Structure 1
């Protein structure tokens, strides 16, 4: 599936686990490009957080051999990140529906605040 010519997948196609043993390269990475406050309220366990505005300066932190699943709240920011990362030679796909769809499907969430993790 593509969105405006950008490779895209539904939330259901995203692997369930992203935690890798120390010292091993990840086969797949879930890259969350939402802002810090959104991330703190709730995110997928094992996701990597780089806000969209920081992607140009920090994309080198990502494994160029990993499949990147890029996610935001609903899919707009992640679409832009995928376009950028593809131009930089990364294999990246946009996660359609973003973290809203993730939560709606009951996929796991964790947060950085005292309240239960949530997206909306």
Structure 2
């Protein structure tokens, strides 16, 4: 999709908790987050990102994940138009789970 960069789940670590250089932003809805999410990801639903952009550490490399990539591309288009670079996780959580990568469940602090 245009100039938006993407990365495969297989190129990413299993846990972003102690990653000082990257941030994984999960833009899915709360019930999707509760079902399965990447450890150390930051959860801000798609519709809330514009109003909560200050909660994202933009000094780190931004990676965006959703269910299958559609919402990730939409929010990255929005962010790129505002001068914020980032990368979409190709295939989203469907690809993450399909690759057998670990997930956390429940309403964790994000």
TM-score, scaled relative to structure 1? 0.82
Cross-structure match for 1:9 = 7
State the 1:90 CA deviation. Answer: 2.5
Q: Report how far residue 87 of structure 1 moved.
A: 2.6
The aligned counterpart of 2:59 is 65
| Bigger Rg over Cα | 1
Cα pair 1:14 1:69 within 8 Å, conserved: no
Q: Is the 8 A contact 1:66 1:91 kept in 2?
A: no
Q: Which runs of 5+ in 2 are unaligned?
A: none
1:91 pairs with 2:85: yes
Higher relative contact order (CA 8 A, sep 6+): 2
**Structure 1: gaps of 5 or more residues:** 114-120
The 5-angstrom pairing of residues 1-120 of structure 1 reads: 3-20=1-18, 26-112=20-106
Deviating above 3 A after TM superposition, structure 1's stretches of 4 or more consecutive aligned residues are: none
The TM-score normalised by the length of structure 2 is 0.88
C-alpha separation in 1, matches of 2:13 and 2:24: 9
Superposition deviation, residue 26 in structure 1: 2.9
Counterpart CA distance in 1 for 2:54 and 2:92 is 23
CA distance in 2, matches of 1:16, 1:91: 22
Find the residue that maps to 2:10 and give its secondary structure: helix
Over aligned residue pairs, what C-alpha RMSD do you find? 1.6
